[in-house]
Copies of this chain bind each other. A is one copy, B any other.
Amino acid sequence: MSRPIVVDNVVALRAQIRAWRQDGLRIAMVPTMGALHDGHISLVRIALEKADRCLVSIFVNPTQFAPTEDLDKYPRQLARDLERLAEAGAHLAFTPDVAGMYPTGFATKISVGGPSSGLESDFRPSFFDGVATVVAKLFLQALPDYAIFGEKDYQQLCVVRQLCRDLDLPVQIIGAPTVRDAHGLAMSSRNAYLGEAELEVARKLNAILRRTATALAAGADEAGATDEAGRALVEAGFQRVDYIAARENLTLAPWRSGRDGRLLAAAWLGKTRLIDNVEIPSA
């Protein structure tokens, strides 16, 4: 088990990447905000299958948090993250700081339309601008061949694909299945906020989504099925449901019955906001 190289600036990052390129090695990147869990480690594994070198960025990106959100309390645990990356066999951890990523005078924003509209954007209006801008920047710093994103943040995955297609970013995006605990709960750094009783409730989210997706695939009325799912979440113990919505698989346009789709949801448990999504298989 060898520890990853740790670099915190673009010059050092590019020097290492240039050296790898000169050796003809293929590079895969896993952008993260740290607080690594089994979901992230599954992305590293996919990166290592696709490429010769795996680079993991760890950066809690302030521009994707609203002032009311959990930027300050978002879990930071670099030493433990580096241990997990060493176990997983990642080759490099890129750990820039905020001043390095957004120096004084920074003034550029990337807005991706299409799949960014609705869902998360209805509740976090600047979120995807922050994501698109930092992802483009990380990609341009490293210029990897591949980048791996979890399907857990399904809308984000669609937005990143659109970003790369629209700007001709020369990075191939790979979506990876959500990793779940034995009860179906999607791995998330924010699960660390949950107490035992809340965890019990959280574990019901995925089952309710799966049941609803099965009903939709079998022809159930969309509005009725999602309303029922919303009520089921509240009965299960969620305080508030931001959305439950069926969407087309890639564009996230409104879903049409009989097509491949995705059922996406966000709901609140105390002060913690959880998201999840499941496939709606085509008829």
Contacts and interface: CB of A to CB of B under 8 A. Distances in A.
A10 B107 contact: no
A133 B113 CA distance: 13
Interface string A85-123: 000000000000000000001111111111010000000
A107 B166 contact: yes
A136 interface: yes
Nearest to A169: B140
A140 B166 contact: no
Contact of A110 (B109, B113, B143): B109
A94 B160 CA distance: 26
Contact of A108 (B105, B108, B113, B170): B113
A163 B111 contact: no
A17 to B, nearest CB: 11
Nearest to A14: B170
A201 B170 CA distance: 47
10 contacts: A105-B162, A105-B251, A107-B113, A107-B166, A108-B163, A108-B167, A109-B110, A110-B111, A111-B111, A140-B170
Given A109-B113, A143-B170, 12 more contacts: A106-B166, A107-B116, A108-B110, A108-B111, A108-B112, A108-B162, A109-B110, A110-B110, A133-B167, A136-B167, A140-B167, A140-B169
